[in-house]
């Protein structure tokens, strides 16, 4: 009822929508600003008063950002770390969620509390000690060292458990009658039928790890091992015209996540809400 | 006889099976959450050398010494100022946006996306963009506002400038939650308010806010937890300067441990930061009982 009223013909709803979009453009204006600067020649960037709209559009800044820095290498590092740790997270989370939703065992409640209790301990508080652990294991400047603290997440376990709990018990019982082991049920029935939640967890884990800054900075000092997020704050260019290439690099770092966010918005939002509100 | 042994084996296997599925997750939980947490608390009561090795019992000395350190006290104040400036504002703006986007229209998917997308922007990219916007000479902000602020280098406004970045980054996340919450309100409730002749402000304040208060409460807790632990923007943009005016608890901890190898201060600061955050959460939970309506 309420929804249909805005499809009534007339200029008011149209005006409202235009207003809403313009407001949206204002909200993302820092991104638009970065985009404009990234295609501006240096003299326009440095002009006084500053220019907002580029007079001429050039791609030199992008060329410079890619060719005279290790941005490509940083991107690869981030891709490896975000990709692998997100897959590992799905494995650890789905296995734990399977135990919490399909088994009855001693200490289940306690272990689940222990799982959710990790949410109360901020990663930053244990940062220094984790660094010492990783250093002791000889993992400084390695992919494994950068990923190792992102390989499990209580919220992921929680979201998956919610989904698994609503999974039909009849299918599970039928599979038991057929002599299907728990492991086989898990791998060949439960996981494939829960692909949506696996996608959600993967996408949000990927974006989260891709965007993370502090930990990868702490455990790397070798330039070749840096992630994009750390690398983009340390770009050095031979001449003084730094801002154009830096904005170009920023746009390049932003782009994959933006695209993922736009394509998978539904899944990401579903995952967020599932982890926070439900239950 | 043989059968019962087999059954016993089987039932033992059945008993340990669920634990096998939990092992991978718990290895990581124990190694990178519980162990370091316990160890950080434990070490904070000892003197620790630059190699991180425990040298002797210190009691509360580390805490006393770090709390006597004006730089750390300053960082506590700064963090609280930062949280007060950034958390409520980001929720307030997101609420306005959620009210605007509440009704579905032809273009609503477009502006919903625009309102939400800041949550996909990473800390370091946001820092780089705002660093240029804040640039006193060629940045856009002074030009538009017709001001001459030295945003990140003036100790009076540097923290405000950093807070604005955090507000911008958090709008999207808060918006998504508030939108789904506002849309969850049944239209009957709103229509009956319309009939009572409530205007938009009365309607928002008296009807919508109470109904979405659980979500608002969640967002307050979430942003408290996040913002109390903020350090990334500081480490990228100001290094705690000018004159310590933007140092936060965690950036202090980070610099003490990484730059100065002073783990005594770092551990104590980490635990104090944790305690202050817990107290802040506790306070908001006590408000929850008064102000949050679950239906």
Task: Please answer yes or no on whether A125 and B127 come within 8 Å at the CB atom.
Answer: no
Q: Of B109, B91, B125, B97, whose CA–CA distance to B217 is shortest?
A: B91
**C-alpha torsion angle, residues A110, A116, A120, A122 (rounded to 10):** 120
Residues of A in contact with B107 (CB under 8 A): 17, 20-21
pLDDT for B5 equals 62
Residue B181 tokens read as 């919450």
Task: Please answer yes or no on whether A125 and B274 come within 8 Å at the CB atom.
Answer: yes
pLDDT digits (tens, 9 = 90+) for A130-175: 999 999 999 999 999 999 999 999 989 998 998 899 888 888 888 8
Query: If you compute the radius of gyration of chain B from its CA atoms, what whole number of angstroms results?
Result: 25
Q: How far apart are CA A247 and CA A45, in angstroms?
A: 11
**ipTM of the complex as predicted:** 0.87
pLDDT digits (tens, 9 = 90+) for A123-142: 999 999 999 999 999 999 99
Give pTM, 2 decimals: 0.88
Task: Please answer yes or no on whether B250 and A115 come within 8 Å at the CB atom.
Answer: no
Q: Of A92, A270, A104, A82, whose CA–CA distance to A172 is shortest?
A: A104
Task: Please answer yes or no on whether B254 and A127 come within 8 Å at the CB atom.
Answer: yes
**Domain range list for chain B:** 2-62, 65-291
pLDDT for A238 equals 60
CA distances from A160 to A154, A182, A210 (A): 10, 17, 22
Residues of A in contact with B101 (CB under 8 A): 20
Q: What length does chain A have?
A: 279
Residues of A in contact with B140 (CB under 8 A): 33, 50, 52
Nearest CA in chain B to A260: B120
pLDDT for A252 equals 94
Query: How many whole angstroms from its chain centre is CA B201?
Result: 29
* pLDDT-derived band at A81, boundaries 50, 70, 90: very high
Nearest CA in chain B to A206: B120
Of A28, A124, A230, the CB nearest to B231: A124
Of A48, A108, A128, the CB nearest to B257: A128
Distance from CA of A174 to the nearest CA of B (A): 18
For the cut 70, the answer to whether the pLDDT of residue A275 exceeds it is: no
Residue B292 has what DSSP assignment?
-
Distance from CA of B243 to the nearest CA of A (A): 22
User: Is A224:A70 a contact under the CB 8 Å cutoff?
Assistant: yes
Q: Which residues is B54 bridged to in the sheet?
A: B48
Q: How far apart are CA A10 and CA A17, in angstroms?
A: 12
Residue with the larger pLDDT of the pair B264 and A68:
B264
Residues of B in contact with A265 (CB under 8 A): 113, 116
Q: Of A190, A40, A206, whose CA–CA distance to A101 is shortest?
A: A190
pLDDT digits (tens, 9 = 90+) for A259-269: 988 988 887 88
Rounded percentage of chain A residues whose pLDDT exceeds 90: 57
Task: Please answer yes or no on whether B270 and A130 come within 8 Å at the CB atom.
Answer: no
User: Is B79:B224 a contact under the CB 8 Å cutoff?
Assistant: no
* CATH class of segment(s) B65-291: mainly alpha
User: Is B178:B212 a contact under the CB 8 Å cutoff?
Assistant: yes
Nearest CA in chain B to A218: B258
**Domain range list for chain A:** 4-64, 69-234
CA dihedral (B238, B243, B246, B248) positive or negative: positive
CA distances from A15 to A1, A6, A11, B107 (A): 21, 11, 6, 11
Nearest CA in chain B to A274: B177
The predicted model gives A56-77 an average pLDDT of 90
Q: Which residues is B46 bridged to in the sheet?
A: B57
Q: Of B60, B28, B24, B166, whose CA–CA distance to A121 is shortest?
A: B28
Question: DSSP string covering A71-140, please?
Answer: HHHHHHHHHHHHHHHHHHHHHHHHHHHHHHHH---TTHHHHHHHHHHGGGS-TTTTHHHHHHHHHHTT-T
* Residues in chain B with pLDDT values less than 70: 1-10, 197-198, 290-291, 293-295
The SS3 of residue B10 is: helix
- Strand (E) or helix (H) holding B46: strand B46-48
The SS3 of residue A63 is: helix
User: Is B176:B116 a contact under the CB 8 Å cutoff?
Assistant: yes
Which runs of consecutive H residues, i.e. helices, occur in A148-220?
Answer: 154-165, 169-177, 182-184, 191-193, 195-210, 214-218
Q: Of A171, A177, A210, A215, whose CA–CA distance to A192 is shortest?
A: A171
Query: How many whole angstroms from its chain centre is CA B8?
Result: 50
pLDDT for A279 equals 31
Of B25, B39, B180, the CB nearest to A96: B25
CATH number of A69-234: 1.10.3720.10
Q: Which of A177-186, A229-238, B12-21, B167-176 has the highest mean pLDDT?
A: B167-176
For the cut 50, the answer to whether the pLDDT of residue A277 exceeds it is: no
User: Is B262:A128 a contact under the CB 8 Å cutoff?
Assistant: no
The SS3 of residue A28 is: coil
Residue B48 has what DSSP assignment?
E
Residue A190 tokens read as 């439960």
Distance from CA of B155 to the nearest CA of A (A): 22
Interface test with A, best of B34, B122, B217 (most A CBs within 10 A): B122
Residues of A in contact with B222 (CB under 8 A): 276
Which runs of consecutive H residues, i.e. helices, occur in A28-70?
Answer: 29-38, 42-45, 60-67
pLDDT for A11 equals 76
């Amino acid at each position: 009822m309420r929804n249909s009223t805005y499809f009534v013909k007339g200029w008011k709803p149209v005006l409202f929508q235009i207003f809403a979009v313009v407001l949206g453009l204002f909200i993302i204006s820092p991104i638009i600003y970065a985009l404009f600067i990234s295609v501006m020649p240096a003299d326009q960037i440095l002009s006084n008063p500053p220019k907002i709209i580029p007079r001429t559009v050039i791609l030199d800044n992008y060329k410079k950002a890619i060719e005279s820095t290790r941005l490509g290498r940083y991107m690869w590092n981030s891709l490896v770390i975000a990709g692998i740790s997100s897959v590992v997270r799905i494995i650890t989370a789905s296995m734990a969620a399977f135990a919490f939703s399909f088994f009855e065992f001693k200490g289940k409640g306690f272990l689940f509390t222990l799982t959710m209790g990790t949410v109360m301990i901020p990663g930053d508080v244990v940062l220094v000690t984790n660094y010492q652990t990783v250093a002791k294991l000889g993992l400084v400047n390695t992919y494994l060292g950068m990923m190792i603290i992102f390989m499990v997440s209580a919220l992921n376990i929680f979201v998956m458990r919610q989904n698994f709990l609503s999974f039909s018990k009849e299918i599970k019982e039928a599979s038991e009658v057929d002599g299907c082991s728990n492991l086989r049920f898990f791998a060949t029935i439960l996981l494939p039928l829960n692909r949506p939640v696996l996608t959600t967890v993967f996408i949000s884990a990927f974006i989260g790890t891709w965007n993370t800054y502090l930990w990868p900075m702490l455990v790397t000092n070798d330039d070749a091992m840096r992630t994009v997020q750390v690398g983009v704050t340390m770009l050095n260019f031979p001449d003084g015209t730094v801002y154009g290439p830096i904005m170009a690099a920023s746009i390049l770092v932003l782009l994959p996540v933006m695209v993922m966010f736009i394509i998978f918005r539904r899944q990401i939002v579903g995952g967020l809400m599932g982890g926070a509100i439900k239950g | 006889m043989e059968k019962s042994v087999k059954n016993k084996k089987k039932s033992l296997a059945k008993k340990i099976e669920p634990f096998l599925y939990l092992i991978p997750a718990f290895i990581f939980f124990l190694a990178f959450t519980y162990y370091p947490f316990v160890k950080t608390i434990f070490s904070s009561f000892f003197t620790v050398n630059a190699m991180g090795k425990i040298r002797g019992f210190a009691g509360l000395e580390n805490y006393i010494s770090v709390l006597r350190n004006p730089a750390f006290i300053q960082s506590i104040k700064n963090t609280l100022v930062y949280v007060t400036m950034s958390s409520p504002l980001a929720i307030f703006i997101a609420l306005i946006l959620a009210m605007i986007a509440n009704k579905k229209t032809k273009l609503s998917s477009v502006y919903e996306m625009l309102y939400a997308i800041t949550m996909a922007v990473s800390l370091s990219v946001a820092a780089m963009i705002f660093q240029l916007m804040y640039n006193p000479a060629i940045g856009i902000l002074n030009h538009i506002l017709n001001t001459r602020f030295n945003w990140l280098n003036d100790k009076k406004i540097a923290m405000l400038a950093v807070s604005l970045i955090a507000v911008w980054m958090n709008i999207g996340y808060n918006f998504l939650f508030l939108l789904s919450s506002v849309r969850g309100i049944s239209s009957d409730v709103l229509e009956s308010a319309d009939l009572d002749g409530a205007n938009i402000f009365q309607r928002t304040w008296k009807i919508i806010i109470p109904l979405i208060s659980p979500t608002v409460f969640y967002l307050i807790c979430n942003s408290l937890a996040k913002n109390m632990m903020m350090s990334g923007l500081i480490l990228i943009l100001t290094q705690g300067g000018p004159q310590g005016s933007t140092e936060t608890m965690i950036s202090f901890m980070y610099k003490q441990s990484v730059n100065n190898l002073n783990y005594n201060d770092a551990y104590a600061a980490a635990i104090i930061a944790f305690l202050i955050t817990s107290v802040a959460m506790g306070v908001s939970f006590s408000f929850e009982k008064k102000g949050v309506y679950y239906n």
